[in-house]
């Protein structure tokens, strides 16, 4: 469509803005082949008519292909598939080749991880935000700056720890990830934890703690409690003490909770020194 063309009186820029808004709001699937204004017409478009036909009638109509729904990103890689992956770079390449469902298709970058490859402290958040998606690095922007100050308060900096998220792609519009989306990338995250081999695992925010600990309890009740975390229930699995605590983004919204976060930071420092 050229710049001066329009549809129903809407110019190209307006149409693109409307489409961009739908994507940011989380729209991912086309549910039928042609638009249908249900307020103005009672006559459904051809794709709706085809659905009402018998299977034989549908097969005989070769002029209109059937509507194909977008894959929702079911679990396609198991932990067993990743046991042979021996380096983080190999794991990253496997992740880049992973379908990833709708999240990967609408993300700008895969946000894999950042920091020391043999870090004693590993921090895991929920999912990349807008700035993380743009830069391809976890924990940047305002929440990342606060996290840097939190680490500095116990004598650490970003280059000494390793950071990642339970999801590697930003959900459109920063919506809450579905359980299916979290499960799809969990095998990669578990192998990533094993390859880093940290001494202490910190789970930032309720969604990260719930995903890895298989918990439904909120972060307010989970935080401050050390939990023995295992990557897999077998002798070769990695066992690590894990501490859930508040996500920096939450602390920006609720600064009164920083006192409890400071208590958690002191506990992390003591465990690292122990």
* CA dist., res. 101 & res. 104, Å (int): 6
On whether the 79-273 domain is CATH 3.30.1360.200, my answer is no
Phi, psi values for residue 25, rounded to 5°: -80, -10
Per-residue pLDDT of the chain (274 residues; tens, 9 = 90+): 444 455 556 677 777 767 766 666 656 555 555 555 555 655 555 444 434 444 444 343 433 333 222 233 334 567 678 988 999 999 999 999 888 778 888 899 999 999 999 999 999 999 999 999 999 999 999 999 999 999 999 999 999 999 999 999 999 888 888 888 888 899 999 999 999 999 999 999 999 999 999 888 899 999 999 999 999 877 778 999 999 999 999 999 999 999 999 999 999 999 999 8
* CA dist., res. 238 & res. 259, Å (int): 31
* CA dist., res. 271 & res. 259, Å (int): 19
Res 64: pLDDT: 32
Give strand pairing partners of 129. Answer: none
Res 28: pLDDT: 55
Q: CB-side exposure of 54: number of CA atoms within 13 Å?
A: 2
Give strand pairing partners of 230. Answer: 239
Res 240: pLDDT: 96
Q: Residue ranges of the domains in the chain?
A: 10-60, 79-273
Res 111: pLDDT: 97
Phi, psi values for residue 79, rounded to 5°: -65, -35
Res 39: pLDDT: 59
Res 120: pLDDT: 97
Res 9: pLDDT: 63
Which pTM does this prediction carry? 0.72
HEC profile for 101-142? HHHHHHCCCCCCCEECCCCCEEEEECCCCHHHHHHCCCCCHH
């Amino acid at each position: 469509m050229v710049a001066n063309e329009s549809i129903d009186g809407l110019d190209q820029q307006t149409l693109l803005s409307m489409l961009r808004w739908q994507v940011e709001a989380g729209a991912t699937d086309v549910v039928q082949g042609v638009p249908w204004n249900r307020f103005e017409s009672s006559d459904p478009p051809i794709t709706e008519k085809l659905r009402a036909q018998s299977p034989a009638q549908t097969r005989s109509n070769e002029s209109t292909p059937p509507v194909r729904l977008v894959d929702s990103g079911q679990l396609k890689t198991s932990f067993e598939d990743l046991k042979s992956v021996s380096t983080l770079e190999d794991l990253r390449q496997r992740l880049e080749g992973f379908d990833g469902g709708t999240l990967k298709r609408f993300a700008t970058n895969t946000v894999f991880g950042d920091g020391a490859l043999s870090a004693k402290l590993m921090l895991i958040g929920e999912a990349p935000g807008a700035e993380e998606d743009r830069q391809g690095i976890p924990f940047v922007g305002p929440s990342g700056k606060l996290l840097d100050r939190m680490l500095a308060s116990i004598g650490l900096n970003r280059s000494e720890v390793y950071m990642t998220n339970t999801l590697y792609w930003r959900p459109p519009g920063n919506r809450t990830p579905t359980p299916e989306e979290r499960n799809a990338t969990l095998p990669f995250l578990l192998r990533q934890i094993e390859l880093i081999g940290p001494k202490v695992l910190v789970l930032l925010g309720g969604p990260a703690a719930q995903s890895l600990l298989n918990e439904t309890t909120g972060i307010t009740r989970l935080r401050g409690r050390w939990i023995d975390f295992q990557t897999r229930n077998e002798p070769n699995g990695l066992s690590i003490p894990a501490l859930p605590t508040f996500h920096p983004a939450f602390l920006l919204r609720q600064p009164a909770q920083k006192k409890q976060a400071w208590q958690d930071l002191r506990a992390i420092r003591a465990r690292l020194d122990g």
